[in-house]
């Protein structure tokens, strides 16, 4: 591998890739032969010999390279920045949890709680509800994680500091009753209460009571109350004390006022918690911030397909509408336009964003700037009507800052956590996909991980470009797959796409046009990532670029092999070859090839 990697870290990362790569072929002369020459042979990798081998690069995640990267990310950074500590903590949680369940291992409950800043000994040893309440508020402020209550620091009031307070989600609202029971049992086992059926029932009963208090409409229509923290204080919930203790701990000026969303709901939740038995409350407050992660893990372990009611045709049209809204919808173009006009980015990054916007404009089939007409393509979604008008029709030149609600940051990893903690109406209020929309087959999880792998994530340099420039396309692809039933008809799906293009846009399309469109968008995103990484000042930049294209090669080989026995095998081979061909210039620069010959597909 001397012609591809120069450090031990890169060599460790491509162990599994050697099952496909033919080292006798010079990559600068025949990239496809180099990348796919040995596809199908048994891997000599020790990783593959000691575990189930998948036709994806998932096994790379178990290699020494990514292990070392994750260990460094999981070490809390030292320094005065509390904001960076919060972001790092959130990243730690999602890396540890995602890598475990993607790796077909149950999430280690203790490690995940520790990474989330939850010390169960500290929580269960608290003797009074007031102290338990203060512990929960401090944890929410430090780790930015929402449980049955959300608490956020608000810094946009002309220099004065406010607190945002709002109702969160109950466990059963996130998980359903069966997953909740398994989740509660695992939590009780951790604290030595696994043999107490009464304790399980107590936690579930508390959650049921909370559920009645936290169901709220969309945040845009929920009343908000500006109130002093002392007015929020009660004998058992001393807000001003809890916030002041945390502020002193981190060296900030404590806010004196709060903006409370659904103040009656917040007070009702606190009243319900205050009158419950202390151990049940402690367990409940420990578990609720982590509920969504364990639901996802539970679903992955059981490998249940996404539940689509109403048979194949409604599911088909829902997939069509969701795909169109994501690939050509206004909100994705708003993201790109927002970053073009963002202050403080380099000219190179701005130029890359403009390239992406130009590609979107070109690939959007001259789509009108109006929102999708849901009724035209069958009324299968309430998302568009749930979004406020300002979210649907904000002109590009009027965009200032981010369109996200106030509790979100500009960090995609952290936002995954926050958005995944919402269901029902709250999710429909925001232009984000939930992880439920992602089919958990291996090919889909492989694609999702492409957004999360640490060596693609460098917040100091490329945070927005890498995350948001790929978000729309990749999640759109996953949304198609997850919404379609097992016996879905590709003919029906593409007919839906054609009907929309013909009747709503006045255009004629075809199955092959959509396939080419997919290839070109993917290639554009790959080129964008490569260009960003190429300009990044990183000590491992060369190795990362090479590793990136080796992964791309393996994915392309795998794509061709997945349809080996299907009639569509030839078209899939052509797709993978086209993807490689369109990224050849970036590959050439990554490997230092003077001139890479055109790939003949």
Confidence label for 71 from pLDDT (cuts 50, 70 and 90): very low
User: What is the mean predicted confidence (pLDDT) over 543-554?
Assistant: 49
Asked if 77 contacts 85 with a C-beta cutoff of 8 angstroms, the reply is: yes
Separation of alpha carbons 158 and 338, rounded Å: 23
Which DSSP string do the residues of 185-205 spell out, in sequence order?
A: HHHHHHTT-TT-HHHHHHHHH
pLDDT at 339: 62
Can you give the residue ranges of every domain in the chain? 8-55, 107-299, 305-510
**Residue whose pair of structure tokens reads 């870290």 in the numeric block:** 9
Most confident among 102-111, 385-394, 523-532 (mean pLDDT): 102-111
pLDDT at 58: 29
User: What is the mean predicted confidence (pLDDT) over 279-286?
Assistant: 90
Separation of alpha carbons 183 and 162, rounded Å: 34
Separation of alpha carbons 489 and 329, rounded Å: 24
What count of Cα atoms within 13 Å lies in the side-chain half-sphere of residue 206? 27
pLDDT at 25: 65
Asked if 328 contacts 367 with a C-beta cutoff of 8 angstroms, the reply is: yes
More confident residue, 386 or 36: 36
Mean of per-residue pLDDT scores for the chain:
55
Asked if 356 contacts 528 with a C-beta cutoff of 8 angstroms, the reply is: yes
Separation of alpha carbons 338 and 402, rounded Å: 7
pLDDT at 392: 29
- Length of the chain, in residues: 601
Token pair listed for 408: 């979100």
User: What is the mean predicted confidence (pLDDT) over 318-336?
Assistant: 49
Q: CB under 8 Å to 232, separation ≥6 — which residues?
A: 165, 239, 240, 258, 260
Confidence label for 205 from pLDDT (cuts 50, 70 and 90): very high
**DSSP state, residue 260:** E
Lowest mean pLDDT, pick from 15-24, 155-164, 342-351: 15-24
User: What is the mean predicted confidence (pLDDT) over 400-407?
Assistant: 39
Which DSSP string do the residues of 496-507 spell out, in sequence order?
A: HHHHHHHHTS--
Most confident among 68-77, 306-315, 345-354 (mean pLDDT): 345-354
Confidence label for 155 from pLDDT (cuts 50, 70 and 90): low
pLDDT at 435: 32
Cα angle for residues 467, 480, 90 (degrees, 5° grid): 30
Q: Does 107-299 carry CATH code 1.10.1380.10?
A: yes
pLDDT at 455: 32
Would you call 37 helix, strand, or coil by DSSP?
Answer: coil
Separation of alpha carbons 581 and 576, rounded Å: 9
User: What is the mean predicted confidence (pLDDT) over 24-41?
Assistant: 55
pLDDT at 480: 42
- β-pairing verdict for 257-261 and 160-167: parallel
Separation of alpha carbons 481 and 476, rounded Å: 9
pLDDT at 247: 84
Token pair listed for 504: 């709503």
Separation of alpha carbons 38 and 131, rounded Å: 62
pLDDT per residue over 84-108, tens digit each?
Answer: 334 334 333 433 433 333 333 455 6
Separation of alpha carbons 203 and 223, rounded Å: 30
Token pair listed for 528: 């964008």
pTM assigned to the model: 0.43
Asked if 520 contacts 363 with a C-beta cutoff of 8 angstroms, the reply is: yes
pLDDT at 556: 52
Helix axes 197-214, 177-190, angle to 10 degrees: 130
Separation of alpha carbons 403 and 420, rounded Å: 18
- Answer yes or no: is pLDDT of 244 > 60: yes
- Answer yes or no: is pLDDT of 410 > 70: no
Confidence label for 460 from pLDDT (cuts 50, 70 and 90): very low
Separation of alpha carbons 251 and 245, rounded Å: 10
Across the beta sheet with 160-167, the strand order is 149-157, 160-167, 257-261, 224-228
More confident residue, 257 or 596: 257
pLDDT at 262: 85
**DSSP state, residue 218:** -
Separation of alpha carbons 437 and 475, rounded Å: 8
- Answer yes or no: is pLDDT of 293 > 50: yes
């Amino acid at each position: 591998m001397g012609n591809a990697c120069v450090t031990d870290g890169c060599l460790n990362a491509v162990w599994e890739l050697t099952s496909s790569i033919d080292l006798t072929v010079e990559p600068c002369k025949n990239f496809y032969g180099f990348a796919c020459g040995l596809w199908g042979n048994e891997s000599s990798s020790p990783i593959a010999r000691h575990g189930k081998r998948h036709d994806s690069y998932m096994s790379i995640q178990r290699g020494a390279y990514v292990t070392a990267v994750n260990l460094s990310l999981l070490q809390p950074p030292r320094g005065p920045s509390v904001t960076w500590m919060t972001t790092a903590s959130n990243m730690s949680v999602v890396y540890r949890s995602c890598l475990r369940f993607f790796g077909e291992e149950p999430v280690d409950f203790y490690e995940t709680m520790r990474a989330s800043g939850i010390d169960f000994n500290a929580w269960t040893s608290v003797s009074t509800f007031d102290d338990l309440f203060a512990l929960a508020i401090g944890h929410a402020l430090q780790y930015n994680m929402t449980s049955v209550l959300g608490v956020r620091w608000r810094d946009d009031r002309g220099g004065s500091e406010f607190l945002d307070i709002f109702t969160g989600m109950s466990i059963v609202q996130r998980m359903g009753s069966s997953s909740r029971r398994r989740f509660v049992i695992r939590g009780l086992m951790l604290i030595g209460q696994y043999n107490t059926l009464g304790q399980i029932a107590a936690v579930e009963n508390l959650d049921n009571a909370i559920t009645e208090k936290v169901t709220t409409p969309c945040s845009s229509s929920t009343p908000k109350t500006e109130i002093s923290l002392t007015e929020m204080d009660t004998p058992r919930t001393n807000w001003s004390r809890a916030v002041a203790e945390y502020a002193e701990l981190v060296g900030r000026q404590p806010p004196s006022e709060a903006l409370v969303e659904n103040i009656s709901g917040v007070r009702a939740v606190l009243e319900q918690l205050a009158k419950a038995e202390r151990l049940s409350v402690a367990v409940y407050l420990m578990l609720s911030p982590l509920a969504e992660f364990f639901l996802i893990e539970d679903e992955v372990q059981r490998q249940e397909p996404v539940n689509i009611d109403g048979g194949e045709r409604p599911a088909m049209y829902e997939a069509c509408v969701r795909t169109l809204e994501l690939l050509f919808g206004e909100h994705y173009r708003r993201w790109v336009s927002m970053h073009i006009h963002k202050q403080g980015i380099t000219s190179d990054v701005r130029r890359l964003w403009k390239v992406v916007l130009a590609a979107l404009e070109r690939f959007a089939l001259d789509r009108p700037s109006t929102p999708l007409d849901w009724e035209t393509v069958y009324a299968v979604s309430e998302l568009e009507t749930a979004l406020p008008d300002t979210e649907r029709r904000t002109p590009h030149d009027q965009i200032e800052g981010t369109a996200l609600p106030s509790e979100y940051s500009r960090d995609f990893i952290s936002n995954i956590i926050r958005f995944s903690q919402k269901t029902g109406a709250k999710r429909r209020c925001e232009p984000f996909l939930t992880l439920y929309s992602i089919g958990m087959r291996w090919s889909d999880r492989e694609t999702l991980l492409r957004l999360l792998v640490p060596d693609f994530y460098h917040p100091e340099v490329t945070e927005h470009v890498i995350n948001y420039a790929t978000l729309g396309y990749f999640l759109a692809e996953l949304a198609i797959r997850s919404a379609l039933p097992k016996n879905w008809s590709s003919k029906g799906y593409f007919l839906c796409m054609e009907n929309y293009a013909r009747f709503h846009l006045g255009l004629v399309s075809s199955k092959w046009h959509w396939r080419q469109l997919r290839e070109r968008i993917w290639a554009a995103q790959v080129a964008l990532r490569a260009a960003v990484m190429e300009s990044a000042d990183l000590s491992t930049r060369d190795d990362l670029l090479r590793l990136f294209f080796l992964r791309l090669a393996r994915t392309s080989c795998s794509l061709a092999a997945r349809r080996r026995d299907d009639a569509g095998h030839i078209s899939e081979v052509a797709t993978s070859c086209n993807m490689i061909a369109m990224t050849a210039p970036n590959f050439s620069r990554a490997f230092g090839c003077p001139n890479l010959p055109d790939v003949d597909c």
